[in-house]
Amino acid sequence: MKVRQFRKLPVIVHEVLKAIGVVAGQLGYSAYLVGGIVRDIIIGTENLDLDIAIEGDAIRFARIFAARTGSVVRNPTRFGTCKIESKAFGTIDLASTRTEIYPHPGALPLVQPADIKADLGRRDFTINAMAICLNPHSYGLLVDPFGGHEDISKQLLRVLHEKSFTDDPTRILRGIRFAARYGFKFERGTARYLSDCLKGGCLKTISGERIFHEIELICRERQVASALAMLARKGILDALDGDARKENLAKYLRKVSIGIQRLRPCLDEREVEAWVIWFGALFAGLSSRRMQRVISHLRPPGRAKRLLLWLASDCKRLLRVLRQSHKDSYKTTRILNKVPMEGLVHLYSLSGTSERKAVLKYACYWRHVRPSLSGEDIVRLGVSQGPMVGKILERLTKLRLMGRIRSRKDEIETIRELLKGRRN
């Protein structure tokens, strides 16, 4: 069967794919487009990540193809995988078709050369186990040994065999990501294998880092809230000792979603990573001890770790402080200056109406308030260099935040009075 939607790929992509097919044919190989892009072509979602499987020696193919097209081969491995990079068409992933044998559950697989059908048979879901042939005589033909096309039309996620999740439990998290992204359901048998795998403790067979990586990908999805709610429903948070709010998670996720919408216009994308906020939402409410366990298991890096630590140690206390101080713009600003930016959204989501207003004002205005005079200006006005300059700058910020002064002129006036007061 030819894939109708395949024709809609940009002309430049077809040029590259055809060239791949021609070179493969000349070497006596077959070349296929595989993986997520085939799925997305059929679903009709944009995806230009070119993933190519070669029935033959992919590294040899890559070297010859690169020499003819003025591109370069990167990262060749002994498993027959590499990348081709070129200015004209970006990066292409290449691999020799292969089977994978899992020596024990959760282990990295042992790899052996095989044909395209066997290569597709090692994959996670039927919708990801299809290929499109690129050789000239069969260009555009779909190879679909497991019924992926039909499962797409039925909106189903189906594994290829019952041991799929135990072989590689990260597939549970991938499945949840795809289910949320496309609005698909797990086929009945697949749902059973998934829950049996979890009940058997299969997540313990893979490293926390691999679990974290998959959760990060989920947190970067557009449909993140429904994916995270599904994560909790399937019992994955329980398995990670992270389920702090049980059935309340869905409600909290809605609040976080509103928090992100409200604060987003005032937060620079470089200061806040939305996926980190969502990641924190999964674990918000855990005690310090349980949070420490989650951190040492998942080993989240940088900002994500910082947010989890803050959520467990400071968030509750700050909520109480904010209840007292939210009317005082200066105090609130000083308090919130110490909060990680992603934590602001959590504070917003957890607060009452008045505190929420203060958090919003802080994010949009208060945190940007600075005196218009610089340190040098202050010295020029007669203040001697040293710690006093910093104190005056802080005082001017305070007065501005309190609305007592509004202009540069007011600032100069304030300093003159201060100096006068000191002379007298």
DSSP 2: B
Cβ at position 253, least distance to ligand CTP in Å: 21
Burial class (CB in 10 A: 0-12, 13-18, 19+), 344: buried
Segment 107 to 136, residues that bind ligand CTP, using CB under 6 A: 123-124, 128-129
Of 171, 234, 245, 400, which lies in the binding site for ligand CTP, with binding defined by CB under 6 A?
A: 171
Q: Which two tokens stand for residue 93?
A: 């992933």
DSSP 384: P
Cβ at position 147, least distance to ligand CTP in Å: 15
Closest CA to 19 of 52, 56, 49: 52
Cβ at position 371, least distance to ligand CTP in Å: 48
Position closest to ligand CTP via CB: 36
CA distances from 21 to 15, 34, 361 (A): 10, 13, 58
- Which stretch, 10-18, 163-171, 382-390, 409-417, contacts ligand CTP (CB under 6 A)? 163-171
Closest CB to ligand CTP among 95 and 378?
A: 95
Cβ at position 190, least distance to ligand CTP in Å: 14
Are 207 and 271 spatial neighbours (Cβ–Cβ below 8 Å)? no
* Residues binding ligand CTP: number (CB under 6 A): 11
Burial class (CB in 10 A: 0-12, 13-18, 19+), 242: buried
Closest CB to ligand CTP among 53 and 284?
A: 53
- Give the span between the Cα atoms of 56 and 200, in whole angstroms: 39
Q: Convert residues 43-62 into a mask of x (bound to ligand CTP by CB under 6 A) and - (unbound).
A: --------x-----------
Are 143 and 30 spatial neighbours (Cβ–Cβ below 8 Å)? no
Of 151, 168, 187, 273, which lies in the binding site for ligand CTP, with binding defined by CB under 6 A?
A: 168
Are 194 and 203 spatial neighbours (Cβ–Cβ below 8 Å)? no
Segment 25 to 44, residues that bind ligand CTP, using CB under 6 A: 35-36
Closest CB to ligand CTP among 167 and 355?
A: 167
Closest CB to ligand CTP among 36 and 76?
A: 36
Burial class (CB in 10 A: 0-12, 13-18, 19+), 186: buried
Cβ at position 185, least distance to ligand CTP in Å: 18
Contacting residues toward ligand CTP, per CB under 6 A: 35-36, 51, 123-124, 128-129, 168, 170-171, 174
